[in-house]
Chain A
């Protein structure tokens, strides 16, 4: 297949328009992706491909397209992070403890996507229960970044949504669903040269998404462009009476917000994000981002987020504490893989000891400890108080600016096994992203350049609560200015 006729090169918006113009059929488009997915085992992005289901759905979409009855995402093939429960399709959160769990229900976000005509290529790899920043904690083994340096060392695609970012970067789907608890959409997007959008907490329903930390989790898309992200979010978002933390506000057409005009926009630059030991190329890229925004008519404003330093410590109390409770339901009684035990408590301990991987166990123990008698006030309550101070930092900053511009990550993609040795070092990957989750704000990572080794780097824009339109508008301007067009070489492709 020539490059020109390779339908997988299209953006989601282009594919949508091509289908409507009858340039190709949904089945043709879907087959192109199915073939690429089938040849991508080396990446380990998909842990379960569902080509038959995809083709059935594509056939239905072609009928609708022919009937002039196309829905917003009609016939567009995407991948789904394994944290989203999919009816009749195995869902494991990439944990052994869920065994062959097959939900009888569909998550609200994926249901929204299917109702708008999108179709699923399969389930994507992620860090076990979304706990990780490298996709190495998955029970299905690590997902590999399509991007490599000249020495061909396997690199991580980021995490936890590593399968989603790798799949989009390797054109194994037009877009992918993902979730973000501390940076799990934006960090992998930055490491793979893709766009990752974490919406405002409450923008998307959490119903049917395997919970990690309930007050931080939020679903969003990883896509190739800001426009594709906007299209995806328009379908994913919406109030859901079954999730009382989902916002009861209308969903705008986010694509329509992409006017390209940010004149007068005040872009805040938080001084506290100039962390020690930040690679100079990241610092340079950040400065370049400010210049691009200024050139587009925005005003750059210095702001202060004084409690930034305490975001990671607060996060590493709050998220594990909530997780220790959220993951108590995996006890081998109603679903999942049970391990026999001498009695009921031993059955629990064996099941959970064998079913949870090391990082998950670590976090469950931290969380259990932080909530246990005598430590609650010193750890959990303190973290909740600091969380309010962090949220208030943003409120004050937004008195002076409209969006914030920061790097997404402190480094480009790193080698496998590098950070596994020291959990704390791995946690530092979230240093620029985690504040956003703590404050419940929307954030987006846009590919902005390459490091010295030719690996992608991202810049992050942070918006006001439910300010996704303004955020996406700014992000598209940044994307256009950066003009990121590099692609990974296809070392993995087996076909």
Chain B
């Protein structure tokens, strides 16, 4: 414990990233547990090759498991969904930790953690705002999709790209805006409303500049996930050998850490101006609007 504290004092930001990634990973295991328990009850462990069979090419036993276990798996999925919602709310803590660690000047090593705990309720509210607005965008996209895809002739690709692109852009803009609000809400004396107002101001002033950085960081995240998917495919977990599972586990944990690190880079981008490294929100911006 003492050693951990020492490491944490020396590398508080790295520790914050690792801790946030660990929290996210642990949440994943919590969400997965009911489904795994249901699969175990279905006798998947007694299959000749155990759960390797579920990853085997052709998916014969995967489809069979879904068919035979439809009812227990559906019940387990509902429990997992509830766990997912609770864990999604709990993600406010690691998110707050990353924001507090990377947006605040590195002074007292314990400050980000204390601040993160205090920020969690606000971040839950902002996370809900993010999810709600993105869900709305998604629903609108779903509603527009049939019209876009029913177009004949050469217009179809353009219309579909327009719908997908519009939905992605809107979602990205919403996420950027909410992150700006998260950043603004770090200041203890601001209300949530003031934070949102400041985010709106920041979005208008720096939106385009931040958008480029957002595309860059999200692209890096997407590449990490895609590369891991390809790597996992190459690892062939349907084949015998526990080492394969270990390698895939390590790969996936590395992705979660990388994604958290990318989030930290993004927070740094939010909290700095282009080159000056000044803390944002700029002093006085609240009074400007």
Chain A partners chain B = no
Mark A residues whose CB is within 8 Å of B.
none
